[in-house]
Structure formats: C-alpha cells, structure tokens
Amino acid sequence: MNLTSTKTIALVGAAAATLGGATAAASNAASTSHPRTSFALVRSAGSVKAGCLVHAGAQVQIRNQGPVEVMTIDAHGLPKSTDFDVFVTQLPNAPFGISWYQGDLQSNGRGNAHGTFVGRFSVETFAVAPGSGPAPVVHNQPIPDASTNPAFAPVHEYHVGVWFNSPTDAGKAGCANSLTPFNGEHNAGPQALSTRQFSDTSGPLRRITP
C-alpha cells in the first residue's frame, strides 16, 4: 500500500469516527433527561393590578426522583401568619384552565413560607377524562361541586400558582377581597403568586423530563 492510499484511508476513517461520534452525541442529547429545575414565582396579574404584595415572591425547585418529583417552594414577602393554597394549573392567569390542588403554605411571623410537595411535576403532568360520569358532590356552597364531569382528551398542566386561602386575608393585604374555588372548601381568595412570566403553553414544569 502506498503512502497516498494510507493517508486517504486514515482521513476517511477519521471522518467516519467523527460522524459516528456526532450521531451518538445527538442521539444521547435527544434522550437525555432533565431531572431538576428551579424557577421563580412572581406576583400574580391580580396582585399587580391591585398594587398588593409588592415585596412578595418565591423560589421553586423540582427534583425528579424516578416515579415522582419533589417540589419545594420557599416564599418571602407574604402577609404574616397567613394561609395559602398551591395549585398546578394549565394557564398562569385567569381563567387558569384545568387546575389541580397540591397542598398548603403558611407564612410565619416574618412573612416567609416553606412547603414540600410530592407528585408528578414534569412534562408528563396531565389530566384526562375519557368520558363523562357522576362526580361526588361534597360542597354545595359557596361554590358548589359539579355533579358530573365533561369528557376531554389529555391536557397538560405546567404552571404553578399560589392563592390566598381567605378573601378576607387578601383584603387585609390590600389585594382584592374576591371569592374563588382554589382551596379545599372552595372559599379561597384571589391568586397571590404565579408563573405568569412563562408563556401559556410552556410553563416551567415542562422543563423536567424523567
């Protein structure tokens, strides 16, 4: 074999190795999971409109644990010793779309709050109703439960929101004294914090890929 042929074969081999490596890297990138993320909760559109909670905010961290995710919320600048409710929502602002109650936050005497929630908080978070059927009516007031559900295809929910547990507490904080269904008794106040800085269909839970 002459020198020219040797060089040609070497160059072809190097090119093939480079292409193979690039293909493998692209394949790995396509299948790489993103097991954790962090993002802020900001004042909701309602809070901004009312001019309330001017120093409030929160930091959220989500870690994938295999079959579930763990979401922690650390909030600050809230009214002192006040109860709040956490929801995963389809949309960050009204009308919020399909919304799922996760649990509660309670601020301390300094207006700080911490909560830990375990569930599916990732690109796989969704609700589905293959058909309509009877639903339990637990609450008849102030906002009654539906007795049946509408059928709908899978709908993903990638946003996080925090609501005042009480309209009265919201009013005391300078926010709207308005009634919403966003707590266990359906007598909550308005939304306090949200992920409205993200677009409607690209909420931050979409970042997590198990």
pTM recorded for the entire structure: 0.85
- Spell out a b/e string for 107-138, using b for 16 or more CB atoms within 10 Å of the CB, else e: beeebebebebeebbbbebeeeeeeeeeeeee
Of 15-24, 76-85, 195-204, give the lowest mean pLDDT range: 15-24
pLDDT in tens, 107-166: 999 999 999 999 999 999 999 999 999 999 999 999 999 999 999 999 999 999 999 999
For residue 57 the two structure tokens come to 């905010």
Span 36-207 CATH architecture: Sandwich (2.60)
For residue 176 the two structure tokens come to 């709207």
167 pLDDT more than 90: yes
| Nearest CA-CA partner of 63 in 31, 103, 35, 39 | 35
Mean pLDDT for the chain overall: 88
CA distance 80 to 192: 14
Q: What average pLDDT score do residues 39-57 get? A: 98
26 pLDDT more than 50: no
Cα 23 to chain center, whole Å?
A: 33
CA distance 110 to 138: 35
Percent of the chain with pLDDT over 90: 84
